[in-house]
C-alpha cells in the first residue's frame, strides 16, 4: 500500500512511518520541521536526543533495507501538498501535520490564530488535493478525544442517536473542546465530514487519547531511530512528564484536584490503530470516527501509579497539587466508548508496571538533559497573554496560577 504520512518527523508520525514501513508498505513522509522549530521558540527539547530526519531515514534504510521518501514542505502550501500527492500516489494519507499542543495554542492571540489557521488550512488543502488528484485515497486524520470535552453523558464514537420530541436522528456528537488547539480539531472534523458528503471522499477521523511511551519495536533497532519524549509543560504529555519529574526528584505536578479523567494509550497502540485504519478503509462518502485510546485514568491515578513504580526503583516521588492553569472540571463524569478499533483487531498494551519501569528508566538514562524549569506550567488559560519565551537564566518558579500538567494534547 502507498502511504503518505504528513508530519512524519513528529512524535506519532515518526513511530507510524517506521511501523508501516516495517510492515512492507511504501511509505513517504511530509514534514516542514515546525515541531523542531517550536522547541527552539520555547527553549525546550525532547528528553531523548533525536537525530535530524535525513539521518534517521538513512539509518532506517541501513538497518532494514527499507526506503522512506522524505518530502520537505508545508501542508498549508497547496502547490507543495498537491505535488506530494501526485508524486507519491497514496492509497492512504495519514494526517499528523498539525500543531498539537493545547498550552501552545493558549500562549496568546498569535499562537491561538496560528494554531487554528495552520491546522484548518492544512486540512482544507488536503481535502481539496485528495478531491482533485486522488479521490479514492483514504484520509486518516488525527483528531483528539479532547474534542468531546467532558460531557455528563457517555461519549460515543463520533455520532450519537438522539430522540427528541418524538423524532429521531443520528447526529455528530456535540463538541466542547477545552482549548484553541482542541477547537481547531473540531473545526477540522466538521470540514472533513462535509467534504466526505459533497465529494464522496473516504475518511477516518481518529479521536486519539493522550499518548505515552517512546519505544516501539522499530525505534529500538538503533539509537539513531529514537523517538521524541517531551516532558515540558507545553508539549509534554502527562505520563511522560511525570516520569521525567520522578527521575530527577521533582514533585509530580498535578493540576488542581487531579480528577481530570481522559483516555490514554501506548504509542505502540497508536501505530497499530493507524495500520488497522489503513487496512480497513472507510467507504466512499463515509466519514468514520473512532475513539483511539485503550484506558481511562485520572491525572491523580497516573501520579499514584508513577509514585508506586518509583518506589520499587527506590525513587522518592512526591505529588504536588498546583492550582489548575486550565479552565476545566477538576472532577467530573467520564465514560467514553472505544470499541471500534478493538473490533478491527487492536490488542491493547495496557499500562503496566513494566511499562512504567521502562519509561522511568528512559527518563533516568537521559536525566542530565532534563531542565527542571520546564516542568511548571506557565500558560494560564485565564490570561489572554502568557509570557512563554525561553529564558536564559533558570528561574525557580514563573507560575502565574500554578499547575501540574495533565497533557500537552
| Cell 467532558, residue located | 150
Asked if 272 and 346 touch (Cβ cutoff 8 Å), the reply is: yes
44 is a contact residue toward a copy of itself (CB under 8 A):
no
Comparing CA positions, the residue from 343, 276, 93 lying closest to residue 202 is 93
Nearer to a copy of itself, 375 or 381 (CB): 381
Contact 141, 282 (CB under 8 A): no
Q: Does 390 bind a copy of itself (CB under 8 A)?
A: no
Please identify which of the residues 26, 141, 185, 378 carries the catalytic annotation. Answer: 185
Nearer to a copy of itself, 151 or 251 (CB): 151
Please report whether residue 160 would count as binding a copy of itself according to CB under 8 A: yes
- Contact (CB, 8 A) for 273 and 343: no
# chain residues binding a copy of itself, by CB under 8 A: 51
Looking at 181, 231, 290, 334, which residue is catalytic? 181
Take residue 116 and report the three cell numbers written for it: 487554528
Residue 347 interacts with a copy of itself (CB under 8 A): yes or no = no
**SS3 label, residue 3:** strand
Nearer to a copy of itself, 101 or 245 (CB): 101
Residues 6+ apart with CB under 8 A from 223: none
Q: What would the x/- binding string for a copy of itself be over residues 90 to 129, using CB under 8 A? A: -------------------x--xx--xx--xx--xx--x-
Our answer to whether residue 144 is catalytic in this structure is: yes
Q: Is there binding between residue 136 and a copy of itself (CB under 8 A)?
A: no
176 lies in the binding site for a copy of itself (CB under 8 A): yes
Cα 279 to Cα 101, 199, 273, 274: the distances in Å are 29, 22, 10, 9
From candidates 61, 62, 194, 223, binder to a copy of itself by CB under 8 A: 194
DSSP-based three-state secondary structure for 140: strand
Nearer CB in complex with a copy of itself: 279/333: 333
Q: Is residue 180 involved in binding a copy of itself (CB under 8 A)?
A: yes
Of 90 and 178, which has the nearer Cβ to a copy of itself? 178
Taking every pair of C-alpha atoms in the chain, what is the biggest distance, in angstroms?
A: 64
Nearer to a copy of itself, 162 or 398 (CB): 162
Active site residue 181: yes
Nearest-CA neighbor of 144 among 57, 208, 194, 196?
208
**Phi, then psi, of 43 in degrees rounded to 5:** 70, 35
Q: Which of 306, 315, 226 is nearest to 46 (CA)?
A: 226
Indicate which single residue of 58, 67, 311, 382 sits in contact with a copy of itself (rule: CB under 8 A): 382
Give CA–CA dist 231/208, Å, rounded. Answer: 19
Residues 311, 385, 391, 398: which binds a copy of itself (CB under 8 A)? Answer: 385
Residues 6+ apart with CB under 8 A from 257: 300, 321, 330, 331
Interatomic CA distance for residues 62 and 222, integer angstroms: 10
From the candidates 16, 123, 144, 270, give the one annotated as an active-site residue.
Answer: 144
Query: Which span (168-176, 203-211, 268-276, 356-364) binds a copy of itself, by CB under 8 A?
Result: 168-176
| Catalytic residue list | 144, 181, 185
Q: Which residues in this chain contact a copy of itself in the complex, by CB under 8 A?
A: 78, 109, 112-113, 116-117, 120-121, 124-125, 128, 131-132, 151-154, 160, 162-165, 167-169, 171-180, 183, 186-187, 190-191, 193-194, 197-199, 327, 333, 381-382, 384-385
Amino acid at each position: 500500500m502507498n502511504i503518505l504520512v504528513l508530519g512524519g518527523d513528529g512524535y506519532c508520525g515518526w513511530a507510524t512511518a517506521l511501523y508501516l514501513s516495517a510492515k512492507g508498505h511504501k511509505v513517504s513522509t511530509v514534514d516542514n520541521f515546525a515541531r523542531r522549530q517550536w522547541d527552539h521558540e520555547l527553549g525546550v527539547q525532547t528528553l531523548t536526543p533525536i537525530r535530524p530526519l535525513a539521518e534517521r531515514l538513512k539509518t532506517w534504510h541501513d538497518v532494514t533495507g527499507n526506503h522512506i521518501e522524505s518530502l520537505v514542505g508545508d501542508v498549508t502550501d497547496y502547490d507543495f501538498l498537491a505535488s506530494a500527492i501526485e508524486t507519491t500516489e497514496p492509497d492512504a494519507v495519514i494526517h499528523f501535520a498539525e500543531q498539537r499542543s493545547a498550552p501552545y495554542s493558549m500562549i496568546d492571540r498569535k499562537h491561538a490564530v496560528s494554531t487554528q489557521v495552520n491546522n484548518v488550512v492544512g486540512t482544507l488543502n488536503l481535502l481539496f488535493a485528495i478531491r482533485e488528484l486522488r479521490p479514492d485515497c483514504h484520509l486518516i486524520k488525527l483528531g483528539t478525544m479532547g474534542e468531546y470535552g467532558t460531557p455528563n453523558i457517555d461519549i460515543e464514537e463520533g455520532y450519537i442517536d438522539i430522540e427528541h420530541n418524538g423524532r429521531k436522528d443520528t447526529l455528530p456528537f456535540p463538541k466542547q473542546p477545552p482549548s484553541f488547539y482542541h477547537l481547531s480539531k473540531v473545526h477540522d472534523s466538521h470540514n472533513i465530514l462535509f467534504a466526505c458528503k459533497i465529494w464522496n471522499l473516504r475518511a477516518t477521523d481518529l479521536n486519539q487519547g493522550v499518548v505515552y511511551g517512546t519505544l516501539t519495536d522499530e525505534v529500538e533497532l538503533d539509537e539513531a531511530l529514537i523517538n521524541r519524549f517531551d516532558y515540558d509543560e507545553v508539549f509534554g504529555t502527562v505520563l511522560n512528564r511525570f516520569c521525567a519529574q520522578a527521575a530527577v526528584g521533582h514533585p509530580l505536578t498535578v493540576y488542581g484536584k487531579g480528577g481530570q479523567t481522559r483516555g490514554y494509550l501506548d504509542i505502540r497502540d497508536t501505530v497499530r490503530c493507524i495500520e488497522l485504519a489503513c487496512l480497513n478503509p472507510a467507504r466512499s462518502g463515509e466519514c468514520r470516527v473512532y475513539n483511539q485510546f485503550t484506558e481511562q485514568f485520572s491525572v491523580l491515578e497516573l501520579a499514584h501509579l508513577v509514585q508506586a513504580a518509583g518506589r520499587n526503583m527506590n525513587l522518592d516521588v512526591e505529588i504536588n497539587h498546583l492550582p489548575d492553569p486550565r479552565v476545566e472540571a477538576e472532577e467530573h463524569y467520564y465514560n467514553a466508548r472505544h470499541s471500534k478499533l478493538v473490533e478491527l483487531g487492536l490488542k491493547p498494551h495496557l499500562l503496566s508496571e513494566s511499562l512504567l519501569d521502562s519509561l522511568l528508566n528512559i527518563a533516568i538514562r537521559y536525566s542530565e538533559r532534563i531542565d527542571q524549569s520546564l516542568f511548571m506550567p506557565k500558560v494560564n488559560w485565564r490570561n489572554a497573554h502568557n509570557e512563554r519565551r525561553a529564558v536564559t537564566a533558570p528561574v525557580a518558579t514563573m507560575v502565574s496560577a500554578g499547575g501540574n500538567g495533565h497533557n500537552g494534547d
